[in-house]
Amino acid sequence: MSEHEDVIIGLEIHIQLTALKTKLFCSCSSDYRGKAPNTHTCPICLGLPGSLPVTNEKAIKFATRLALALKCTINERFYFFRKNYYYPDLPKGFQISQYNRAGGKAFADRGVIEIEVDGNIKEIQLNRIHLEEDPARIVHEGSITTSPHALIDYNRSGTTLIEVVSEPDMRSPAEAREYLKQLMSIVQYTEICDPNLEGAFRVDANISIKGHDRSEVKNINSIKEVENALSYEIKRQKLAIKRGAILIQETRHWDGDKTISLRTKEFEADYRYFPEQDLVPFETDEQFVDKIRIKLPEMPKERKERYQRDYLLNEFDAGILVLDKQIADFFEEGIKLEKSFRPEEYKLYCNWLMNQVSRWLNENNTNIANTKLKPEQIVDIVKALKENVISSKIANSFIEEMMKGTSIQEIMKKSGKKVISDENKLESLCKEVIKENPKIAADYKKNPKAIQALKGKVMGKTRGQADPKKTEELLKILLK
């Protein structure tokens, strides 16, 4: 039994349809990021009396795409409902959303996301996905707890959200992390949302310890933060139970270090859901769904299988490579440039993207599309490594320059670094090192591993430029 067997986690993820140009019920631009506050508004998204919403058909098409990708059952007829609550970011006093009770239906039911943690594959079931409008954006000066006032920007009001509600199937923060990674990847592949945009992917995490009431941690913005917030909540709740406290159902805020109680959780009855009578029920049929199904792009799982089949990548490498669509697209562009590659080179190409490039992107908190890196640079570095023109150590030292878009040829010229494979030169270097390190050389007779220390000295003398394979061979001959 794992340490988290009694932990119950369910996630509600709000995905903003950033690829949709207009809002869900009006024709205002939904591209609000970086725009002057309160400039993308109209009577509908400001909720003025007498204004009438009209459903954006493209939003329904986008939702259908995601529902198909997540293997949900799409409901042929659905209504919008009013979810009533009072909050300054909600000008109408209600949010147009969906409700799967009282005769209402979500956009789509069920669905599944497959995850893998520590080699174990697990299916996380979805409860439903539904459509709703985003509230306005409240801006706090400093932090939510210390700001003296709140500013409201209605540009976001009425933009389209799809909420993906999971069943409480996850048992650990690591499972939640993998679930989010897979969902984010699928969303990216459907091209309905750029999940990297600030606020485009927002998570509410429900968490409880078996037999106790749950808390809901609201609006967490990154996968790492979700994992941290969940780990914190597990500790907090378990400690409270140990001390004999009674946990109450409540909404909490994650501030980056800890969760803070915001309010005791509203119950569904508090929202007084009822059908939105200003909107007619929406109907989809098989024909409508099929048209979208045909155009559905390749999903990460299929792409992974194709990479295993066509490039003979192993399952682990292929799985990581396809996760970020931008990286996978980049891989494919390079592959198309170079027809002479064989499995060994594909693997090297993949490793370079997964290790050197991904590490650099993480460290610089950016994504590959924002850099000047081009697929032909990776192709060239793979070729240079393969032909032994440079060592992997030298290649690794090129990453900064590569990210600036400098060609491999130019970097090699500028740095003057390339592999020394001239046997005479290497031999005299090896002799020198053996002479300078008699103790290690003597040790080699009892301990063959000592050769690595000598090889390291040769590499050091050449600033990593000595051909490692040849060096080792020469040392072995000289030490006989």
Closest CB to Zn ion among residues 155, 185 = 155
Closest CB to Zn ion among residues 159, 190 = 159
Give the residue among 359, 71, 319 at the shortest CA–CA distance from 181. Answer: 319
Residue 42 contacts Zn ion per CB under 5 A: yes
Closest CB to Zn ion among residues 51, 351 = 51
Question: Two tokens at 471?
Answer: 């060096």
For Zn ion, the binding residues in 380-399 under the rule CB under 5 A are none
For Zn ion, the binding residues in 7-36 under the rule CB under 5 A are 26, 28
Q: Residues in contact with Zn ion, total (CB under 5 A)?
A: 5
Closest CB to Zn ion among residues 44, 60 = 44
Considering the complex, what minimum distance in angstroms separates the CB of residue 364 from Zn ion? 37
171-190 per-residue burial string, b: 16 or more CB within 10 A, e: under 16? bbbbbbbbbbebbbbbbbbb
Closest CB to Zn ion among residues 155, 377 = 155
Helix (H) or strand (E) holding 415: helix 408-415
Considering the complex, what minimum distance in angstroms separates the CB of residue 136 from Zn ion? 11
- When computed from its CA atoms, the radius of gyration of the chain, rounded to whole angstroms, is 28
Residue 59 contacts Zn ion per CB under 5 A: no
What is the pairing mode between strands 108-109 and 81-84? unpaired
Considering the complex, what minimum distance in angstroms separates the CB of residue 83 from Zn ion? 19
Give the range of 38-46, 54-62, 409-417, 431-439 binding Zn ion by CB under 5 A: 38-46
Residue 354 contacts Zn ion per CB under 5 A: no
Closest CB to Zn ion among residues 11, 28 = 28
CB 181 within 8 A of CB 323: yes
Considering the complex, what minimum distance in angstroms separates the CB of residue 284 from Zn ion? 25
Work out which of 7, 13, 24, 45 binds Zn ion, going by CB under 5 A: 45
Cα(90)–Cα(28) distance, integer angstroms: 17
Instruction: Report in angstroms the alpha-carbon separations of 82 from 131, 157, 271, 275, 405.
Output: 12, 15, 9, 6, 52
Considering the complex, what minimum distance in angstroms separates the CB of residue 59 from Zn ion? 14
Give the range of 41-49, 279-287, 357-365, 390-398 binding Zn ion by CB under 5 A: 41-49
Closest CB to Zn ion among residues 15, 28 = 28
DSSP for 342-376, please give it: -HHHHHHHHHHIIIIIHHHHHHTT--GGGS---HH
For Zn ion, the binding residues in 292-351 under the rule CB under 5 A are none
Cα(319)–Cα(322) distance, integer angstroms: 6
Closest CB to Zn ion among residues 58, 265 = 58
Considering the complex, what minimum distance in angstroms separates the CB of residue 60 from Zn ion? 18
Closest CB to Zn ion among residues 42, 112 = 42
Q: Which residues, including other chains, have CB under 8 Å from residue 112's CB and lie 6 or more apart?
A: 70, 71, 123, 124, 125, 126
Considering the complex, what minimum distance in angstroms separates the CB of residue 305 from Zn ion? 43
Q: Which residues, including other chains, have CB under 8 Å from residue 378's CB and lie 6 or more apart?
A: 334, 349, 352, 353, 357
Give the residue among 430, 33, 469, 12 at the shortest CA–CA distance from 203. Answer: 12
For Zn ion, the binding residues in 416-475 under the rule CB under 5 A are none
Q: Please name the amino acid found at residue 301.
A: K
Closest CB to Zn ion among residues 47, 464 = 47
Cα(324)–Cα(354) distance, integer angstroms: 10
Give the range of 37-45, 114-122, 261-269, 291-299 binding Zn ion by CB under 5 A: 37-45
For Zn ion, the binding residues in 161-180 under the rule CB under 5 A are none
Give the range of 39-47, 244-252, 383-391, 403-411 binding Zn ion by CB under 5 A: 39-47
Considering the complex, what minimum distance in angstroms separates the CB of residue 156 from Zn ion? 11
- What DSSP character marks residue 411? H
Considering the complex, what minimum distance in angstroms separates the CB of residue 44 from Zn ion? 5
CB 12 within 8 A of CB 127: no
Considering the complex, what minimum distance in angstroms separates the CB of residue 40 from Zn ion? 7
Cα(322)–Cα(84) distance, integer angstroms: 41
SS3 content of the chain, % helix, strand, coil (to 5): 40, 20, 40
Binding residues for Zn ion, rule: CB under 5 A, are: 26, 28, 42, 44-45
